[in-house]
A and B are shown apart, each in its own frame.
Chain A
Amino acid sequence: MRLNVDRLTALAVLAPSVILLAIFVYGFIGQTFYIATTNWQGLGMGDISSIGLRNFEQLFIGSGLPFFRFREALVNTVVFTVLFIAACLSLGLLFAILLDQRIRAEALFRTIFLFPMALSFVVTGTVWRWLFSPRSGLNTLPALFGGAPLPPDQWAWFTDRRQLFTFTWADASRLVLIAIIVGLLAFAVFSATRRRPVQALIAGMIGLSLIGWVFLGGVFEALGNVVRPAHGVNLAMFSIVIAAAWQMSGYTMAMYLAALRGIPEELREAARVDGCNELQVYRYVVLPLLRPITFSAMIILGHISLKIFDLIYVMAGGDNLRVDVPGIHMYLTAFRGNNFALGAAIAIIMLLLVACVIVPYLVNVFRTEVRR
């Protein structure tokens, strides 16, 4: 590592962005985490003291309704993410395959499908709020053909209060906790047999400390006290998924279309010569080759859906429990309720959720680059 002019230039060029990133991204993440470990409420800054990880603990096992609302938002986010990604991938793939059939006016259709992506979520939210408005929107469509409008209480769209697959938070989190602990311990044993002592040690330590937290911290008892209302798959969430998928499926279509065009015709020809029908060509040749694109699309859609705020805030308002998400809950907790510490804790949890999606992707990218 000698310091020559090249290296110095490189350092000088990199330094501004590294410093700015360090302050304005990582510095503020650090500050947010610090705030999340305090009891800061209200606009006074005088009596702030550290309370450790209590805010995080409260969010997951606290008994008050604000914490219930956070958990409802968390469940909604998971439901939304799964449905949104599934809808975008399947619609995008469908449109891409259809467009790939050498049809006429392909460019026109491509533009039409891609166009919603150019809108902001605020515009999409406003438009779909009108469309899904139970009294005046899509529900009145049958009237155009001489039928009766759909009844607003049955077709309530984003105002629907019904839930499917209900469960209580206590049951679900007991199951998840046990699954995580068993998984970690199994992974530790597995690593030990494969002679990876460091991996085994880390997994084992985390597993054992979780056991300690669960039993010494009285987690199961606390879970028994959390408020009763059930969580579940909220029907209202489907309206949000439709609006979001309408906007983003054109984007996955574009990605898939590019990938489809990149598959050499020879491969399909070879499959056909080997006796595949068209379905089998897609099943055994095209789809496996699209896997990396699917992976990238999932990452991009995943971090959009985990952070979603504007679409739902505009479409369904800020206090619609059945479509609440952590982003909205964070905003209202911090800036309407003046509970900055709890808001910061929710922000950190959102960051961790997104990290769960992004970090494996980055690791993957990093590995492939090193291999090259």
Chain B
Amino acid sequence: MLKRLFSLAIVFVLVFALAGVATAQQGGKLEIFSWWAGDEGPALEALIKLYNQKYANVEVINATVTGGAGVAARAVLKTRMLGGNPPDSFQVHAGQELTGTWVVANRMEPLTELFRSEGWLDKFPKDLIDLITYNGEIWTVPVNIHRSNVMWYIPAKLKEWGVSVPTTWDEFLATCATLKDKGVTPLAMGENWTAVHLFENILLAQLGVQGYRDLFAGKLSWTDDSVKAAWALFDKVLNCTNPDAASLSWQQANDLVIEGKAAFYVMGDWAAGYMTTTKGLTPGEGFGYAPAPGTAGVFNMLSDSFGLPKGAPNRENALAWLRLVGSVEGQDTFNPLKGSIPARIDADVKNPKLYNSYLQSAATDFAKDALVGSLMHGAAAPEAFLNDFQTVVSVFIATRDVELAASAAQTLAEATAVR
């Protein structure tokens, strides 16, 4: 009997000891969930390193899920959140991807108080604050800004072919004919999402800033003649692209331009990072850039951000993370490596040691241009819309049926609206 009691006591001691260890560890962890690996990994790692300098006893878990430009990560995140196992903070595109998926589902904590106490309310552009505000509360901390409406080219090649950079789509279509005669693909394109990316910038050129905003606010119908004109233009532009688009990643499509097989490429400015870091080209000389045709004076933006899910296991550590992400120091650590510009207006963008000439010009435009949100990259429309809109674009590429695409998009917009 005594022996039994003794062994029972040992078991109890062990259990409590283990429990003690477990709680001690829990207090010192922070799990960051993102799809940043490979080329984008070092930027996140630098930010984590900075965090560890400030909070040395916190063990940061870098939970990255790669693949499909974030599609795989978001799928894993959704199962984790539905299963009641949220990370402490996760990467999310500012705008409708955040609002439509997470905020309306009541799975995020509002961060307005954090913005107020840190004095951030006037440190981010007003349009960006509007994008991350829903029902009067702010829901996420933007870390960077990327630009969607950029057209890339190689200046030396253009000189060789004797063409100049088109500033409108009409000019582009004229240039398209010239280039086709020379056996050059006028516009490089990759797999389906790059087609959606191209289309959003055609839409922006066709509708203008107000029309584009109205369209995604539900004030302009997708079956309006101006939107149909954008589809018709998209049809013509598609005829200027490479026929094997569906087999190319965005980098491979970019390579067509670098190798002189294609003339232009409409892609977000992560392409600048790819061409400077991976391909070793100098911005302005090795490669050139201009706003996508018909979108000068407009900055079609997307923003990566970090939010605070309800039920985050290490809430205090997560808040410290968010304070770092939103600080000037954090943004100037992250963005030069990521190849994006800071979301804050008071960051050190003029410093040429940190930001190259492309990023400086992007920052200048960001400060003065009208801002709109990208469709493909989660700012302008909720995921439910975007998912099926990618079907609409893939059907349009196969059928080129303007009426069908217009009515299908309108049906989608009505079914998935988040107001």
Contact = CB atoms under 8 A, between A and B. Distances in A.
A150 to B, nearest CB: 12
Contact of B105 (A43, A159, A320): A43
A331 B388 CA distance: 13
Contacts of A228: 401, 404
Given A43-B102, A44-B104, A338-B384, A69 B246 contact: no
Interface string B108-140: 000000000000000000000000000000000
B255 to A, nearest CB: 10
B82 A43 contact: yes
Interface in B350-402: 383-384, 386-388, 390-395, 397-399, 401
Contacts of B68: 318
Interface string A285-325: 00000000000000000000000000000001111111000
Contacts of A320: 191-192, 246, 394
B323 interface: no
Interface in A204-229: 227-229
Nearest to B411: A64
Interface stretch (A12-20, A88-96, A127-135): A127-135
A337 B387 contact: yes
A43 B81 contact: yes
A322 B398 contact: yes
Interface in A50-73: 64-66, 68-69
B246 A316 contact: yes
A84 B5 CA distance: 67
Contact of B107 (A43, A158, A333): A43
A309 to B, nearest CB: 13
A133 B399 CA distance: 22
A274 interface: no
Contacts, number: 125
Contacts of A149: none
Contact of B395 (A152, A153, A229, A318): A229
B107 A66 contact: no
Contact of B394 (A43, A134, A319): A319
Contacts of A157: 247
B106 interface: yes
Nearest to B390: A319
B417 interface: no
B58 interface: no
A109 interface: no
A330 to B, nearest CB: 12
A152 B246 contact: no
B404 to A, nearest CB: 6
A227 B101 CA distance: 29
A32 interface: no
B247 A41 contact: no
Nearest to B392: A65
Contacts of B101: 42-43, 338
Nearest to A319: B192
Nearest to B418: A42
B243 interface: yes
Given A43-B82, A43-B102, A158-B247, A321 B394 contact: yes
A292 to B, nearest CB: 41
A161 interface: yes
A317 B192 contact: yes
Interface in A15-52: 41-46
Contact of B243 (A65, A156, A316, A322): A156
B411 A321 contact: no
Interface string B71-82: 100110011011
A367 interface: no
B243 A321 contact: no
B408 interface: yes
B108 to A, nearest CB: 10
B408 A64 contact: yes
5 contacts: A43-B105, A44-B106, A321-B395, A333-B387, A338-B78
Given A46-B106, A332-B387, 7 more contacts: A42-B104, A135-B247, A152-B242, A159-B246, A317-B191, A319-B393, A320-B191
Q: Top 8 closest A-B pairs, CB basis?
A: A337-B387, A319-B192, A44-B105, A335-B75, A43-B105, A134-B244, A159-B246, A153-B243
